[in-house]
Structure 1
């Protein structure tokens, strides 16, 4: 079920790129925002949209309580964490990361410290990544089965056979292009007919030429005329084809 914490995947994807270490994330846990694994260390994720001076005290108090009540390390993941809050988190020994790539993670032999990263401004480009190869695969999954909209980025990535980073980028662009709306408890596609029409055009121009294997023709004209009656079942499965 969708929870409005897509920034968790954005932060993880950014950190993976910076440290070149795979990070596993499981957001399908009812008792936690997510579980995170880096190398052999597993963390309980506390997800907060932003940590600013106005809410810093309350969030730090909740993190201390979670840290006290858990036998596993806690990590705060946020879209934005103020400079003052990061200093306080480090002093208290609380792990954190944000979507810009800043991170403080210290657990036994695992130590990661990155600061000074700025969130890149979105560049306006003529051809959106949402309508390039990976994006077209993702959009297909969203149009084909609307329930896929509520899945985690990881599950959408698995269904579309693309990276989590691609899902994060494409979902953000769909939102910017007014095709996607995120509410507190779900995602909703907007302007679906327009999105479908654009997908059809770009699928034929971009994706279809890359997935087509080859064109073939019948050598026997009798077979060509009786093509509907040809047995397409084979020992290991069946053949799908048409004209």
Structure 2
């Protein structure tokens, strides 16, 4: 199952007051496979047989419902259920919940019957799947720490102060983020991260970036000529398609810097966008341990990839896929 869908389903169950515990990890369930799963509510507990259905339709669910009928209560989970399928599942005594929160769950004194929910928008999904227990794991400051960990994993072996410096956050914020990552199962107690957990964390960071950290760092949107190289007294870092000019002909320019490159803005005669901007100036939110950023260097691969996807442009998204295949783990080195 898509880890983002798994997080959304768990979050919806928590919204309805249900304790989902820690077993199993829903993201590990294969399509139409069934695993045992416990739900708790105020001292009551019920064991379910959970089936993941990518297509929550009658035709796809008929066999799982029939073969598991004698094995206890069933709970069908998936991205989206139609009104017709929901009605028939209820009449067959099957419980269900989808990513939008449509649900029918009955056990003991518990009855949850929610209908008519629309699929989550991208922004709603980001906000939902990245928060647990009222704590947003991908808040801007925590996202800065996670970005540093994913880009320079060796920082986990050093003092928290070094991680804080690279992340440009306080030592307390860095430590809190490490504690939350451990609590949520991304880090081991010895501050190591396994590949599966790293992949999940990376995907969640990329999904959250446009509406979270990325939105807070945007300082100016301009229109003007975007040719390279760029000359400025302010150290500049290029991202998005600006950083992979050899892969496609860039039509936009994305720059991260610690301060606005006013000299460059004046020299190029860039002007504030009244229509469609093609130049994006953003606040640099990391301190590169390799001391890059003195002359138009490319941003760390994870950020280049995230900015390509965030552009919502087919040409850049295609380039993002190729970039990911070439750089795979998106580490900065």
CA distance 1:79–1:142, shift in 2 (3 Å): farther
Answering whether residue 201 of structure 2 is matched by residue 174 of structure 1, we say no
Q: Calculate the TM-score normalised by the size of structure 2.
A: 0.39
Q: Distance in 1 between matches of 2:69 and 2:147?
A: 39
Say whether residues 1:104 and 2:116 are aligned partners.
Answer: no
Alignment of 1:87 with 2:170, yes or no, is no
2:140 is matched with 132
Partners of 1:33 and 1:47 within 8 A in 2:
no
Go from structure 1 to structure 2 and tell me whether the alpha carbon gap of 1:157 and 1:46 turns closer, same or farther (over 3 Å shift). farther
* Residue-pair matches, total: 165
Partner deviation per Cα, 1:33-88 (whole Å, 9 max, x = no partner): 46242321222211112213xxx2231221221132x2x32211111111111011
Partner SS, residue 112 of structure 1: strand
Does residue 155 of structure 1 match 2:174? no
Gaps of 5+ in 1: 147-152, 161-167, 179-190, 205-243
Identify if the C-alpha distance between structure 1 residues 119 and 58 changes in structure 2 by more than 3 Å, giving closer, same or farther: closer
Relative to structure 1, the CA distance from residue 112 to residue 131 in structure 2 (aligned partners, 3 Å threshold; closer, same or farther) is closer
Aligned to 2:65: 63
Matched, 1:12 2:10: yes
- Distance in 2 between residues matched to 1:96 and 1:42, nearest whole Å: 14
What does residue range 1-243 of structure 1 map to in structure 2 within 5 Å?
Answer: 4=2, 6-17=4-15, 19-28=16-25, 32-33=34-35, 35-39=37-41, 40-52=45-57, 56-68=58-70, 70=71, 72-123=72-123, 130=138, 132-140=140-148, 142-143=150-151, 154-156=184-186, 171-172=203-204, 174-175=206-207, 201-203=284-286
The 1:135–1:107 alpha-carbon spacing in structure 2 relative to 1, beyond 3 Å, is: same
Report the 3-state secondary structure (helix = DSSP H, G, I; strand = E; otherwise coil) of the residue aligned with 1:57.
Answer: helix
| Correspondence for 1:182 | none
Deviation at 1:170, TM superposition (A): 8.2
Query: Cα–Cα, structure 1 residues 48 and 157, in superposed 2: closer, same or farther, change >3 Å?
Result: farther
1:156 shift after superposition:
2.5
Alpha-carbon RMSD across the aligned residues, in angstroms, is 4.4
Work out which structure has the larger RCO, using CA pairs closer than 8 Å and 6 or more positions apart in sequence: 1
Partner of 1:228: none
Instruction: Give 1:6 shift.
Output: 4.2
In structure 2, runs of 5+ residues without a counterpart are 125-135, 155-182, 192-199, 211-239, 245-255, 258-282, 288-333
Write out per-residue CA displacement over residues 151-175 of structure 1, whole angstroms, 9 at most, x where no aligned residue: xx95228889xxxxxxx99845614
Q: Secondary structure at the match of 1:38?
A: strand
Deviations 1:223-242 (A, max 9, x none): xxxxxxxxxxxxxxxxxxxx
1:86 alignment partner, SS class: helix
State how far apart, in whole Å, the 2-side matches of 1:142 and 1:33 are. Answer: 31
Q: Secondary structure of 2:122's match?
A: coil
